[in-house]
Structure 1
Amino acid sequence: MLLKAELLEQIKAGKVDLIFRRWSRPTVKAGGTLKTKVGLLAIKAITDMAPEDVTAAEAQRAGFADVTAFRKWLDTMKPGHLFQRIEVGYLGDA
């Protein structure tokens, strides 16, 4: 799973703890870790859901101003039949 540097910094700072992804097949598993440029991330939980079920609070936890900003971002993502809500946390230097 590729994450932009700005998002990684927000996760490291504790400002973001959710990531949303739309894909053909998952590339991370709950309970796993992800090595990134800023350090190691914990993949705490993964939930299948529909994009229209994303709440304002979840959009903000993912770093978006609101649901409208989230949907605008989602429209730029490549298609996929699986949409997931991924809870993450920063573990430290890798």
Structure 2
Amino acid sequence: MLLKRELLEDIKAGKVDLVFRRWSRPTVRAGGTLKTKVAILAIDAMDEMDPAEVSLADAQRAGVADLDAFRRWLDSMKPGHLFHRIRLRYLGGDQNGTGA
């Protein structure tokens, strides 16, 4: 799962704790970790859902201002038949995503 650096920085700062993904096959799992350019992230939970069920609060927790912006972002995503809400958090690591 690729995340843009700006989003990674917001996760590290505690401003973002949700991301959404539409895909054919999940590339992360609940209870796992994700090594990124910024640090290691913990994947705390994954919920398969319908994109229409995304609330304003969830969109904002993902760093999106409102539901219209969320829908525009969703339209720009790659196609896929699975849609997940992923709760994650900064776990640690250095700028290369390694160490503690």
One fold, TM greater than 0.5? yes
Secondary structure, in 3 states, of the residue corresponding to 1:75?
helix
Q: Quote the residue 1:57 is aligned against.
A: 57
Structure 1 Cα separation of the partners of residues 68 and 14 of structure 2: 23
CA distance in 1 between partners of 2:68 and 2:44 (Å): 26
TM-score with structure 2 length normalisation? 0.93
For residues 88 and 69 of structure 1, what CA distance do their matches in structure 2 show? Answer: 21
TM-score calculated relative to the size of structure 1: 0.99
Structure 2 stretches lacking a partner, 5+ long: none
Give the drift of 1:51. 0.4
Match of residue 28 from structure 1: 28
Q: Give, in angstroms, the shift of residue 30 of structure 1.
A: 0.2
Distance 2:46 2:69 in 1: 22
Q: Which residue of 2 aligns with 1:10?
A: 10
- Larger Rg, first or second structure (1 or 2): 2
How many residues align? The count is 94
Q: CA RMSD in A?
A: 0.4
Runs of 4+ residues deviating >4 angstroms: none
**Does structure 1 residue 68 correspond to structure 2 residue 68?**
yes
Q: Secondary structure at the match of 1:87?
A: strand
How far 1:26 moved relative to its partner?
0.2
Q: Distance in 1 between matches of 2:70 and 2:13?
A: 20
Q: Which amino acid aligns with 1:57?
A: A
Q: CA deviation at 1:31?
A: 0.2
Per-residue CA distance 1:50-82 (angstroms, 9 max, x = gap): 000000000000000011111100000110000
- Could you list the runs of 5+ residues in structure 1 that have no partner in the other structure? none
